[in-house]
Structure 1
Amino acid sequence: MDHLFLVVVSGIASGAVYGLLGLGLVIIYRATDVVNFALASMATLAVYVALTVVNRGLGVWAGLLAAVLVAVVVGLIVREVLLRPLGTGRLFAALVMTMGVSLVVEATVADVWGTEPRAFPPLVEGRVTIGSAALATQDLVVIGVSAVAMLAVGWLFTRTTLGSAMRAAAESATTAQIIGVPAQKVARIAWALGLGLAALASVLYVPKVGLAPMVLSAPLFRAFAGIFLGGLTSMHGAVIGGVTIGVLENLAASYVSANFRDTFVFVLTVLILLLRPQGLFGTRSFERV
């Protein structure tokens, strides 16, 4: 029972990271109709900058702040310089553009910092004993910080004027402009928020696995699995889907086989989507022909 408890808590910690990445992807997609495949690579670049800050003796929390700022700035530059000139409705072109940005950023990171894995310090050291189970304090911090960030985003979207404007733009950019919602401003805020969440997720994740140029490739695909499981347009679905993926992969790795944990998770996701294509919390859309 203690082993199961540890597996579930560790899975929730991993799933919280996937949920943050997925939440960032959904926020950007709903506001701008862009699936940002460069989100993980830009967040990785931000974490390397954070490691540089930490190595200069400024502390890991200063590194976290630096990572969020760098991710936001880089994300806004990419959007304004490369994606905004494409115009609206160019979904495939924007998708290909973000893939290209991802490759360029990964190559830049490898050229500047090298490809050798590096250690990144946890936000909090040590372990916590609950009964006879010893939990890594970092896992509990990941869960707590992620929960606070997700609740803050939920409050922003449901309790503030800015959140109402962002929801209006997500429903229909054209209608939002007609009623006076500044679509470009909302899009910039969405990109900043999405990249900030991705940077936060990255700083929480890399102490456990080490830092490398493509460290977020696997978490990104698991975040996508969580998004499709929860529903592509649902923010709380992305969070719940990400946490579900994290717990399921840990259970599969511990009780089935570590070699088949991704297979188990994605097969289950496909089966759910066959029964409910819009995801567990997504809404089915209809178009008049």
Structure 2
Amino acid sequence: MSELFLVVVSGIASGAVYGLLGLGLVIIYRATDVVNFALASMATLAVYVALMVVQRGLGVGAAVIAAVLVAVVLGLVVRELVIRPLGTGRLFAALVMTMGVSLIAEAVISDVWGTEPHAFPPLVGGTVTLGSATLATQDLVVIGVSAVAMLAVGYLFTRTTLGSAMRAAAESAATAQIVGVPAQRVARIAWALGLGLAALAAVLYVPRVGLAPTVLAAPLFRAFAGIFLGGLTSMHGAVIGGVAIGVLENLAASYVSANFRDTFVFALTILILLLRPQGLFGTRSFERV
């Protein structure tokens, strides 16, 4: 029983990272209709800057703040210089541009810091014993910090004027502009918030696996699986889907085979999408033809 408990908690910790990445993707997509494939690479670049902060002896807390701030700035720059000039309705062009930005970010990382993995310190070291189970304190911190970030985003979108404006723009940018919601400002905030969440996910994830140029490639695809499972337009669906993917992959790796972990997770996701194409929490859209 203690082994199952450890597997589930570790899966929730991984899923919390996928949920944060998925939440960032959904926020940007709902506000601007752009699927940002550069999210992971830009967040990784921000964490490399945070590594420099750690190496200067300023502490992990300062490094986390630096990573989030750098990611926010990168998000705003890419949005204003690369995505906004494309105009509205250029969804495929925007998708390709984010792929290009991702390749550029990875090339910059490789040229400046190299391709060898770097160790990144955890927020908290040590272990915690619960009954007969021993848990890494970092896993509990990942779950706690992710939960606080997700609740803060939920409060922003449901309890504040800014959140109402962002939800209005997500429903219909044209209608929101008519009633006075500044669409461009909402888009900037969405990109900043999405990249900030991605950077937070990155600094929570890299202490477990090491920091490398493509360290978030696999988590990004699992985050996509989570948002497709939960519903592409649902923020709470992205979080629940991400956590579900994390737990499922850990259970599959522990009790089936580590080689079939991704096969099991993505096969289940495809099955659910075949039965419910809009995802578990998404809304079905209808078009008149």
* Pairs within 5 Å for 1:105-184: 105-184=105-184
* 1:287 positional shift: 1.1
Distance (Å, rounded) in 2 between the aligned partners of 1:174 and 1:239: 28
SS in 2 for 1:134: strand
After TM superposition, the structure 1 = structure 2 runs for residues 57-96 of structure 1, keeping only pairs within 5 Å, are 57-96=57-96
The offset of 1:209, in angstroms, is: 0.5
Q: CA deviation at 1:6?
A: 0.1
Aligned residue runs from structure 1 range 1-289, under 5 A: 1-289=1-289
Q: CA deviation at 1:288?
A: 1.5
Is the partner of 2:134 in helix, strand or coil?
strand
Q: What is the identity, as a one-letter code, of the residue corresponding to 2:126? A: G
Superposition TM-score, scaled by structure 1 size = 1.00
Deviation at 1:232, TM superposition (A): 0.1
The AA in structure 2 aligned to 1:201 is A
Q: 1 CA distance for matches of 2:207 and 2:260?
A: 24
Report the Cα offset of residue 226 of structure 1.
0.1
Corresponding letter in the other structure for 2:195 = L
Please give the secondary structure, in 1, of the residue aligned with 2:212.
coil
Q: CA deviation at 1:215?
A: 0.2
- CA-based RMSD of the aligned residues comes to 0.3
Structure 1: which 5+ runs fail to align? none
* CA deviation string 1:153-181 (max 9, x = no partner): 00000000000000000000000000000
Task: Tell me how far 1:56 sits from its aligned partner.
Answer: 0.3
Q: Unaligned 5+ residue runs, structure 2?
A: none
Question: What are the Cα deviations for residues 206-263 of structure 1, in whole angstroms up to 9, with x where unaligned?
Answer: 0000000000000000000000000000000000000000000000000000011000
Q: Please state whether the residue corresponding to 1:115 is helix, strand or coil.
A: coil
SS at match of 2:251: helix
Task: Report how many residues are paired.
Answer: 289
**SS of aligned partner of 1:128:** strand
Distance 1:285 1:106 in 2: 36
